[in-house]
A and B are shown apart, each in its own frame.
Chain A
Amino acid sequence: DAGVTQSPTHLIKTRGQQVTLRCSPISGHKSVSWYQQVLGQGPQFIFQYYEKEERGRGNFPDRFSARQFPNYSSELNVNALLLGDSALYLCASSLGPRGSHEQYFGPGTRLTVT
């Protein structure tokens, strides 16, 4: 079975631009979470979506937004990019939002802001 897929793999943007990252969860999984991993640090939680509803949001500015589609895939949008937004963006899918539902991570999208 296919795991979590993310696109694109790598992306280079300029400060002030906007970016959209995409994630397809494992078949049958209805929950998607997004994490930001800055080089040399652990991942930080950005959003969780379940059944197209936002279930949680981390400590990130309003420049960050996301949505989930009827097929449970998800997009993460970042507006007005800053140099500090350069990071690996990880998507994780799970059956649902419960703590007992294991999260499976995709390979990530490497975003570089110049």
Chain B
Amino acid sequence: GDSVTQMEGPVTLSEEAFLTINCTYTATGYPSLFWYVQYPGEGLQLLLKATKADDKGSNKGFEATYRKETTSFHLEKGSVQVSDSAVYFCALRSISSGSARQLTFGSGTQLTVLP
């Protein structure tokens, strides 16, 4: 079945540091890939997405490139801010989801940015 493996946390960085959170996946065919962010006490917000190989999703300074050859979708940001502190989830939606097209999530990575 479909699965997502992401870098375990927690990750602690100083403000303005470079961020990478690794994500790899297993899926049938050509899934769509997503990064969601969850701030304390809140639901999930879509951060960025990519729907085909070599696509780059980007939003709020975050980027991720869909790499089919390595089945990866690593999240990067050049300069993190304290306000980026949150839990980040990598997810996929695959054709093997059937008609439901549900999301399959990784276990999440807790990011803390210190001033």
A interface list, Cβ under 8 A from B: 4, 33, 35, 40-45, 48, 55-58, 90, 92, 97-108
> Which among B89, B95, B102 is the interface contact of A42 at CB below 8 angstroms?
B89
**Residue contact B108 to A90, C-beta cutoff 8 Å:** no
**Residue contact B102 to A106, C-beta cutoff 8 Å:** no
Can you name the residue of chain A whose Cβ is closest to the Cβ of B42? A107
> Which among B32, B43, B91, B102 is the interface contact of A107 at CB below 8 angstroms?
B43
B68 within 8 A of A: no
Bound CA–CA A44/B102 (angstroms): 9
**Residue contact A56 to B98, C-beta cutoff 8 Å:** yes
Can you name the residue of chain A whose Cβ is closest to the Cβ of B108? A42
B interface list, Cβ under 8 A from A: 4, 32, 36, 41-46, 49, 51, 89, 91, 93, 95, 97-108
**Residue contact B98 to A42, C-beta cutoff 8 Å:** no
CB distance from A1 to the nearest CB of B (A): 16
**Residues of B close to A35: CB separation below 8 A:** 103
Give the total number of A-B pairs whose CB atoms are below 8 A apart: 68
Bound CA–CA A74/B101 (angstroms): 18
**Residue contact A55 to B105, C-beta cutoff 8 Å:** no
**Residues of A close to B51: CB separation below 8 A:** 100
The interface residues of chain B, by DSSP majority, are classed as mixed
**Residues of A close to B32: CB separation below 8 A:** 99
Bound CA–CA A54/B43 (angstroms): 23
Bound CA–CA A99/B99 (angstroms): 9
Show 7 A/B contacts (Cβ-Cβ < 8 Å), sorted by A.
Answer: A35-B103, A42-B91, A56-B97, A90-B43, A105-B43, A106-B43, A108-B42
Given contacts A41-B108, A42-B89, whether A33 and B43 have CB atoms under 8 Å apart is no
Given contacts A99-B95, A106-B43, A108-B43, whether A42 and B105 have CB atoms under 8 Å apart is yes
Can you name the residue of chain A whose Cβ is closest to the Cβ of B46? A102
Bound CA–CA A13/B41 (angstroms): 20
| A-B complex: 3 closest residue pairs judged by Cβ atoms | A56-B100, A42-B105, A45-B102
**Residue contact B102 to A58, C-beta cutoff 8 Å:** yes
CB distance from A51 to the nearest CB of B (A): 12
CB distance from A82 to the nearest CB of B (A): 22
